[in-house]
Structure 1
């Protein structure tokens, strides 16, 4: 299929009652990376919340990963630390203090057990701050991007998928 199609989507099965696909084993990702230009792995979800804290078993990151992408929702910035805004709120309470500020989210990104957990040392990091439609969300996202840039990280601020416009690259 890789020889005849511009892209191939692969899953390890389906969970029809949940409308979700199962992942594939990391060793298969490594094998696929040897025969294709790019392999994109969606490693975990956040149940629709803008901020997520990983479970003990997450994320499953293949050692062959070359670009590790962290995705956070700008619509969660400035909000209270609560289950409404954070997936795995109980774990987040141990890692974060107070509201979801750019500073606290930066701390969550950088902590070893935070959002870069499992990143192979050789992989480049890219942070995508999405859902920055509202002015307040965009300004808070820009503040987070400034903090990330100071740490030598790169990324982008964008809008929801249907809008498809990247607003700023850092």
Structure 2
């Protein structure tokens, strides 16, 4: 059934949402941030690293503690430490972040990296999901289904092959990835959500529907939905 993504995710004020996985984390984070700005003050940040966003993606960007100003109305604010010569932001100290979060109605945290590759296997230190997170969204792109594993599109390919194998990527493989250690949610005990992304064609909708049903049947206490950020269409079985 087609739904609004904010209704699917049931985002409430003071939610802290961490986003992990591959193929669309940053796009989803800023899409949600812009939607939520109509409802309150929004903080966007990272617990690892993200690219410095474009000027039209935020209202204010703060890269140092001394420059920060508390928003007085509905604004989209990005906070991070600038990595010189790399056009990237890294996480600020967690204690400082938790203080800043109090100034906002909604917080979105990119908690994972994949070097823009569509699939990954997590290293021991990934993802970085703070325990204060209320919801964690793990992303998989539908376009990897049916592909043979390859170093060209899998981040941390060696560990992927060692732990998952060389079989064609199927719904069973996606389930195995979700259940792997450290895994897409790495010890997180709050609300877990799987988002199947890049679902644009009718064929991909059929595949995503089938994958979503399979994952829901085989995962406890995990919500699954699918859709396209590009087309702004989202579905829940």
Is 1:58 aligned with 2:126?
Answer: yes
1:38 corresponds, among 67, 82, 106, to 106
Is 1:157 aligned with 2:222?
Answer: no
Q: Residue 101 of structure 1 aligns with which residue? A: 170
1:112 corresponds, among 181, 192, 196, to 181
Distance 1:132 1:101 in 2: 16
Answer whether contact 2:140 2:195 (CA < 8 A) is retained: yes
Q: Which residues of structure 1 form unaligned runs of 5+?
A: none
Number of residues of Structure 1 aligned to a counterpart in Structure 2: 166
State the shift of 1:24 in Å: 2.3
Structure showing greater radius of gyration is 2
After TM superposition, the score normalised by the length of structure 1 is: 0.84
More strand by share: 2
Distance 2:90 2:129 in 1: 14
State the shift of 1:118 in Å: 4.0
Answer whether contact 2:114 2:155 (CA < 8 A) is retained: yes
CA spacing shift, 1:155–1:9, aligned 2, 3 Å: farther
Distance 2:97 2:192 in 1: 18
Is 1:144 aligned with 2:208?
Answer: no
CA spacing shift, 1:48–1:4, aligned 2, 3 Å: same
State the shift of 1:12 in Å: 2.4
2:137 corresponds, among 63, 66, 69, to 69
CA spacing shift, 1:130–1:16, aligned 2, 3 Å: farther
Distance 1:127 1:101 in 2: 16
SS at match of 1:39: strand
Q: Residue 75 of structure 2 aligns with which residue? A: 7
Q: Deviations over 1:90-115 (max 9, x none)?
A: 11112213111111111111223221
Is 1:126 aligned with 2:185?
Answer: no
CA spacing shift, 1:102–1:25, aligned 2, 3 Å: farther
Higher relative contact order (CA 8 A, sep 6+): 2
State the shift of 1:2 in Å: 4.7
Distance 1:77 1:28 in 2: 40
Q: Residue 90 of structure 1 aligns with which residue? A: 158
Answer whether contact 2:197 2:226 (CA < 8 A) is retained: yes
Answer whether contact 1:75 1:131 (CA < 8 A) is retained: yes
> Considering only aligned residues, what root-mean-square deviation do their CA atoms show, in Å?
2.1
CA spacing shift, 1:81–1:136, aligned 2, 3 Å: farther
Distance 1:162 1:16 in 2: 31
